[in-house]
Structure 1
């Protein structure tokens, strides 16, 4: 037996299988199979639909009484900035500032669309219409938004072509009542569209959404490295000290009492965002990174009151959790619930 053969026999099986898995001869067929065999992250997209819709309602419902001052006739002074942004003019006709009746009609239609989006009713048709109305409202007051709103508009355009109603939706409930088994085309593509095309568009949208979140974290971390406060571990302290964001002042003051905790939280936010594109390549580190960064966004929502931004970011992060992991989590929670409810023996 040659020396090379003996070395191969001694090499761990995992190493050999890993090399075979990423061999150029098998990589392209595996990629084609991943793109066209079945839809991925269907539960994640359903969660994204719910969280995006809730984010919109958090913006619209509390602002209902002040809607004319924020987006209507009282927001004429924002028009020079809106014109500079170069919005497509027909989008701005949905919410006219010189016609309160049409504005109110469009605003209530948008509210209804957001509710339908959350519950997942007729999602295939509601999603593109919701996109048009949401962007139309955004054009009226460009100074009210932030990076999260921009990311939401981009992703909302992408997910027009994704399956958002496979789970947690009225559409899924109706399909079950009618005895329609879930399929790769269920609820999204007309019957005349080839099955592989519907799967391909869904999985391509997943790739685009993950790219957007990776780009957001990478750019954010690079900008953080330019600030001295992030490098010396005091950035979160200064963020929690801004009085305008004191939703729960006592909790904010409690959070910055421990200097080591503040420093660790600052550095964790910096490095997890910076290394996020690398951490998601391996399943254990991917789930650890998603857990840490989800906790970071929940802290931003609770301590700073930025719920729409945080929920949108969490929704995108959860796309990285596979359907199998969601199902296993659901099974474990179900077993735990049954164990708690079962009578003691």
Structure 2
């Protein structure tokens, strides 16, 4: 008798077909979703751009500026509008440096979450403008960032861990008329949730196309592709670690198999919570491996940030609460090791000199009755 109830609890409850449109509209308009994930994505994207600019600041003119004529005429066939060429010209080093500095400042403001609704579109323009000056300096991460930043222009990226959130908590907001507030909130919710949907669709598109392309190669079908990825000289930041990894035959086969089939079935796996958790664990592990073994950290971090859009706010709150409790427990366990366990010094039994005389005089004054009354 309990088996149907158990299966009913295990499987998700599917709505009736006539309820689906109302549920979708309600999901889009009633509240913002993935607010923690969007805030985490903002921090990761800002950090990636800042790190990218900082590590290439010495070679910026050779890579994108006045000394980058080596990439022409390929870059001229990019088909971008002239606005991007004005932002990062190849014939004016001073203006190029100014735009480079502005891009770094925008990335910093984006990372800390200050006025993200205005900073995000400006960051998109300058980030795309820099990328269009060279068509060969790509690793996949900058491409996916440019695509998704276009969607994130209308997203609420500063709900958590941001200067905007801090300012909202400190300042008192004016109460708007009810109808105006409801309309504005509905539009903001719809725009932010639409950005989440578009980013999720982009992730699924990348994974499914990547899996289909992989299946066209015999190495991915027979389970040896992971080995060939580890022995490529251009993608070996830690050769000793790569050589250690490919020695485990079972690990090579399992990693190759999972990277193909989890990507191919990802749109279906995210529909049910247990399979979604398993798929995210495998995908996150895959991207960590790409960053560690292949050195493609901008791509890996960008994909990890986008993958976490499938994590609900309630799950974020539980993870943060668990992390906070774990930190408190660790601090409580470690604190006795650093506290001073020596007993406090006892007060001296006797005193001498002026201190003794003052003590005796004070005692006598207290003990002597007041005879002047």
Q: TM-score, normalised by structure 2?
A: 0.83
In structure 2, the CA distance between the partners of 1:78 and 1:325, relative to structure 1 (3 Å rule), is same
In structure 2, the CA distance between the partners of 1:236 and 1:178, relative to structure 1 (3 Å rule), is same
| Alpha-carbon distance between aligned partners in 1 of 2:240 and 2:11, rounded to the nearest angstrom | 52
- The yes-or-no answer on 1:338 pairing with 2:328 is yes
Q: What is the aligned partner in structure 1 of residue 91 from structure 2?
A: 98
Q: What is the aligned partner in structure 1 of residue 364 from structure 2?
A: none
User: Residue by residue, what CA displacement relative to the aligned partner does 1:73-103 show, whole Å, maximum 9, x if unpaired?
Assistant: 2211323222223111221111111100000
Contact 1:20–1:26 (CA<8 Å) still a contact in 2? no
Larger radius of gyration: 2
Q: What is the aligned partner in structure 1 of residue 46 from structure 2?
A: 53
Instruction: Work out which of the residue numbers 162, 179, 197 in structure 1 matches 2:187.
Output: 197
Q: Cα distance, 1:342 vs. partner?
A: 2.7
Instruction: Work out which of the residue numbers 132, 141, 147 in structure 1 matches 2:125.
Output: 132
**Higher relative contact order, structure no. (Cα contacts within 8 Å, ≥ 6 residues apart):** 1
| Alpha-carbon distance between aligned partners in 1 of 2:128 and 2:270, rounded to the nearest angstrom | 31
More displaced stretch, 134-143 vs 77-86: 77-86
Q: What is the aligned partner in structure 1 of residue 260 from structure 2?
A: 270
Q: Cα distance, 1:177 vs. partner?
A: 2.4
| Alpha-carbon distance between aligned partners in 2 of 1:33 and 1:176, rounded to the nearest angstrom | 27
Contact 1:269–1:296 (CA<8 Å) still a contact in 2? yes
Residues 1-345 of structure 1: pairs in structure 2 closer than 5 A: 12=5, 15=8, 21-178=14-171, 194-342=184-332
User: Residue by residue, what CA displacement relative to the aligned partner does 1:200-258 show, whole Å, maximum 9, x if unpaired?
Assistant: 11111111010000000000000000011111111111111111222111111111111
| Alpha-carbon distance between aligned partners in 1 of 2:34 and 2:9, rounded to the nearest angstrom | 29
Contact 2:12–2:272 (CA<8 Å) still a contact in 1? no
SS at match of 1:194: helix
Q: CA RMSD in A?
A: 2.5
In structure 2, the CA distance between the partners of 1:193 and 1:61, relative to structure 1 (3 Å rule), is farther
Contact 1:79–1:140 (CA<8 Å) still a contact in 2? no
| Alpha-carbon distance between aligned partners in 2 of 1:174 and 1:73, rounded to the nearest angstrom | 41
Q: Structure 1, unaligned stretches of length 5 or more?
A: 1-9, 182-189
Q: What is the aligned partner in structure 2 of residue 7 from structure 1?
A: none
Q: Cα distance, 1:260 vs. partner?
A: 1.4
Contact 1:60–1:111 (CA<8 Å) still a contact in 2? yes
Q: TM-score, normalised by structure 1?
A: 0.89
More displaced stretch, 79-88 vs 266-275: 79-88
Contact 1:54–1:118 (CA<8 Å) still a contact in 2? yes
More displaced stretch, 20-29 vs 168-177: 20-29
| Alpha-carbon distance between aligned partners in 1 of 2:10 and 2:263, rounded to the nearest angstrom | 31
More displaced stretch, 10-19 vs 94-103: 10-19
SS at match of 1:174: helix
| Alpha-carbon distance between aligned partners in 2 of 1:280 and 1:19, rounded to the nearest angstrom | 12
Aligned residues: 330
SS at match of 2:100: helix
Q: Cα distance, 1:118 vs. partner?
A: 1.0
In structure 2, the CA distance between the partners of 1:67 and 1:17, relative to structure 1 (3 Å rule), is closer
| Alpha-carbon distance between aligned partners in 2 of 1:238 and 1:29, rounded to the nearest angstrom | 49
